[in-house]
Amino acid sequence: MSSNSTADNLCASDDNLCRVREYQLEVIIVPTLLLFATVVTLLPLCLLTFCCQRERTRVSLPRPHHSSAHRRRKTHRHDHRHDHRHDLQGIDAPPGLNPLEHEELPMRAQPVQQNVKPVLPAVPQTPTGGRPGAFSQVAALPQGFSITEGSVSLYRARRDDRSVILKVLKETANSSEKEHFLGFASFLSGLGPHPFIPALVDVVSMQLPLTIAVEELRHRDLLGFLWTCRQENSSYDMTEKRIFTMAGQVASALEYLHSKSYIHGNVGARSVLVAGDLTAKLWGLGSAYRRTTPGPGDETELRKWQAPEVLAGRAVGQSSDIWSFGILLYEMVTLGDPPFAHVMTTDLLQYLQRGKHLRRPASCSNSLYSNIRSCCHWQPQRRPSLVELIRALQAGERSANNTTVIRVPEMLNFEKYLREAGYGETYNYAVL
């Protein structure tokens, strides 16, 4: 009020210029200073904001060497992974995915390199030179005596007045199947001859079709031979002495295999071949070879022939072959009955854990049954070694009855056998 009064006193009522001069501090100078201070304060803030925005834009730009195709591949992988994870929850997630974090974990399988020719194993040629034309009278092996193999065909043939079985790789086989085929041929060549292992006659590996020729044994697999012995008009009789003799031959071949640090893993009547003079020879060596190479197991390794430790998920050992050999003895004395016929395959391990064991067949002597029980002992370390087993079999052979013929009154029901043995409905029992 005092300033207004002072201005009124100093200036005339009609002197506007005088009034502006008197109020210039409040009306002009102070607002101007305030506006200038505001501009000075806002300008650095605007500059700082602009620089930060420009820096973020520069960082987010793609690197020059990342092509559009690369970005499309990344987007495709992300979309593909998202599609497969849409319904995955908890333990339902497959191996290789973390169901909690939804992140890919490293898989054990390595990516396949393209346009790289696989290195195939070298296969020593037999003295005959692997001449495909040297085989004569080639004919397809009867379907009842072969197993289904997608990449292999089986034939009968003659070679230098000798009957042979030809295992021929189909032309449609891929590089992996070819590598496995030649690897198995190399395995047989390196195994060497043994009187109770079928002889390797020839290997054709330098030209197509790739072929493995093995001696043919007249009666083929022991399981079929045992079923033939059930027939009343059979030309061959199975006695206890013959069981000890043939079992000793198989045990000798198995000991030879173990001496080479191989484990058969599939011992059974289906993996033994019988010659015309009733000599037994151990075969089914594909399972032994597969254990020397990485890859899936053998589907023909039936669980009712496997040792308890194998059923429990532990590794197959030499003592596991001894257990399976005891099952083989049981098959021989029953003329081809399946083991543990009254037990479901899924219940077998629990059945054995309760102290149960193979029942004694009516036609089985004390000597033979004691060998079965010793081979099929629950504890692997309590099972006999092959040296001890061969000695026991030889002693049993010397004292065994060679006159009483083993008879099984029940005729074979093939479908029932497949069910009780744990085979698939379409599985063909023979192994060649």
**Structural domains of the chain ordered from first start:** 123-216 (3.30.200.20), 218-432 (1.10.510.10)
Q: How far apart are CA 377 and CA 130, in angstroms?
A: 46
Tokens 């199947």 correspond to what residue?
177
The answer, yes or no, to whether residue 384 has pLDDT greater than 70, is: yes
DSSP state of 304: G
Give me the helices (H) in 270-406, please: 286-290, 308-311, 318-333, 348-353, 366-375, 386-399
The whole-number pLDDT of residue 53 equals 65
Highest mean pLDDT among 41-45, 173-177, 390-394: 390-394
Average pLDDT over residues 415-428: 72
More confident residue, 37 or 430: 37
The token duo for 162 is 């000798």
Among 51-55, 85-89, 214-218, 362-366, the range scoring the smallest mean pLDDT is: 85-89
More confident residue, 243 or 412: 243
pLDDT tens digit sequence for 178-220: 999 999 999 999 999 999 999 999 999 888 899 999 999 999 9
pLDDT band for position 409 (50/70/90)? confident
Kindly report the number of other CB atoms within 10 A of residue 158's CB atom.
Answer: 15
pLDDT band for position 276 (50/70/90)? very high
Asked if 134 and 157 count as a contact pair (C-beta separation under 8 A), the reply is no
The answer for residues whose C-beta is within 8 angstroms of residue 23's C-beta and 6 or more apart is 7
The token duo for 288 is 């032994």
Q: Which amino acid is at 88?
A: L
The whole-number pLDDT of residue 387 equals 97
What order do you get walking across the sheet with 152-158 strand by strand? 136-140, 152-158, 163-169, 211-215, 200-204
Helix, strand, or coil (residue 103)? strand
Asked if 270 and 415 count as a contact pair (C-beta separation under 8 A), the reply is no
pLDDT band for position 274 (50/70/90)? very high
The whole-number pLDDT of residue 129 equals 43
The whole-number pLDDT of residue 368 equals 96
By percentage, how much of the chain surpasses pLDDT 70? 69
pLDDT band for position 25 (50/70/90)? low
Average pLDDT over residues 366-392: 96
The token duo for 378 is 């629950």
Kindly report the number of other CB atoms within 10 A of residue 239's CB atom.
Answer: 15
Q: Rounded to the nearest 5 degrees, what angle is found at the Cα of 329, between the Cα atoms of 323 and 330? A: 95
pLDDT tens digit sequence for 90-111: 333 333 333 333 323 233 333 3
Q: How far apart are CA 29 and CA 405, in angstroms?
A: 133
The token duo for 311 is 């059923």
The whole-number pLDDT of residue 254 equals 98
The whole-number pLDDT of residue 10 equals 61
Average pLDDT over residues 48-73: 54
What is the pLDDT of the chain when averaged over all its residues? 78
DSSP state of 28: I
pLDDT tens digit sequence for 288-314: 998 888 655 444 568 999 999 999 998
Taking alpha carbons only, the member of 311, 335, 313, 337 closest to residue 323 is 311
pLDDT band for position 18 (50/70/90)? confident
DSSP E strand stretches across 38-130? 97-98, 103-104
Asked if 346 and 260 count as a contact pair (C-beta separation under 8 A), the reply is no
Average pLDDT over residues 33-44: 82
The whole-number pLDDT of residue 58 equals 52
